Amino acid sequence: MMRYVVTGAAGFIGSNLIKGLNDRGITDVIAVDDLTQGDQFRNLVDTSISDYVDRSEFLKLLESGQFGRTIKAIMHQGACSDTTATDGRYMMSNNYGYSCALLEFCQSSQIPYIYASSAAIYGGSDVFSETPSCESPLNVYGYSKLLFDQRVRRQLDQTAQVVGLRYFNVYGDREQHKARMASVAFHAFNQYLDRGYVELFSGSGGYADGEQQRDFIAVQDVVNVNLFFLDNPQLSGIFNCGTGVAQSFNALVTAAINACRIHAGDVALSLPELVAQQLLRYKKFPADLVGKYQSYTQADISALRAAGYVEPFMRVEQGVALYAQQWLKKQHQY
C-alpha cells in the first residue's frame, strides 16, 4: 500500500489538499500536524485519512524506517506562517530545519517532494519573478522560506522531483482557525456580519484608500496546482502560485459584502455606494507597518504556464462569492 504524506494537514491549505486527494479517490493519506490548537480538528472531520501522526514524532518515525518504502509522495504544507513573528530561532527550526530534513529523506528515497514556499520572499520588490534579483524578504518568515528555496535550487539536479510553490494571498474554506492571520476575505465576511460594515486601511505606498493591490488566489486553485505537479513527477523547480492578476482590496471587499447582502436578500452595491453608505470604511494606516507592508503583488506565472499548467484562475468576484456561500452555510459550527 502506497501512502501520501501531507504535513500541516489540519491547517488551511493542508486540509484542502487532503480533500482534493479524497475527491480523486485517494484516502491512503498520512496526516501530519500539531493539534495543540485543538479546534483545528474540524478541518479533518470530513476528510478520509489512513493515519494521523504528530509533527514532533513524524521525522523520528520516517528516519527510523517505520514507513518502509510505502510513501508515494510528501506534500509539505506545515510551517509557522505568522509574518509578524519575531522569534527567529523558532522560525528557522520550524520552517527551514524541518523542511531540510524532509528534503534529504525524499532525495535519498527518490520520493516526490512538493512544498509550500511563499510570496513573502519578494518582500519589498515590485517584480515577482522566481529569480534571486527579485527576492528581498521583509521579515524572518520570508527569510526562512527564501533560505530553503536557495537550498532547493542547489539540489535541482537530483533525480527525485522537488517543487516549491510560492503562494500569494490565498483565501478560502478551512481557514477559520487562523484568527488574525486569516485572509482579508474571511475578515470581511465576519466584520460585515458582526457589525454591518468593513474596515480597510487608508491609502499607503502611493495608493488611494483600499486601492493597494494583491494577487488573491482561491484555495481551490492552489490545490489544483499542487495536484498538477503530483501528476507530473518529471517536473521540478520553484514556481509562483498566484493568478497573475493583481486586484485591489476594494474589489475583494466589494465581492465579500455583496455576497453577504445577496445571501440576506439585499441588492448588490457598487464600491461608491458601499462607501457612501458607510458599509466600507477606511482606518488610518498603522505606523508599525510602514516599510513592512506589501502594497502591490502580482505573480509572474510564466514559469508555471511554461511547465504546462493551463487551467484558468478564479478572480475575486467568482472565488470570494463561492467562499462566502461555503462560509455562510457552516458558520454556525464555529
Annotation says 141 is catalytic: yes
Single-letter residue type at 147: L
Instruction: Identify whether the C-beta of residue 119 lies closer than 8 Å to the C-beta of residue 167.
Output: yes
Report d(CA 42, CA 249) in Å as an integer: 29
Instruction: Identify whether the C-beta of residue 106 lies closer than 8 Å to the C-beta of residue 74.
Output: yes
Catalytic residue among 72, 178, 207, 293: 178
Report d(CA 229, CA 237) in Å as an integer: 10
Single-letter residue type at 299: A
305's CB contacts (< 8 A; 6+ apart) are none
**88 to each of 92, 140, 144, how far by Cα in Å?**
6, 6, 9
Report d(CA 74, CA 202) in Å as an integer: 42
Instruction: Identify whether the C-beta of residue 73 lies closer than 8 Å to the C-beta of residue 113.
Output: yes
Catalytic residue among 96, 141, 143, 167: 141
Which three three-digit cell numbers place residue 88? 527567529
Annotation says 283 is catalytic: no
**Active centre residues (catalytic):** 141, 178
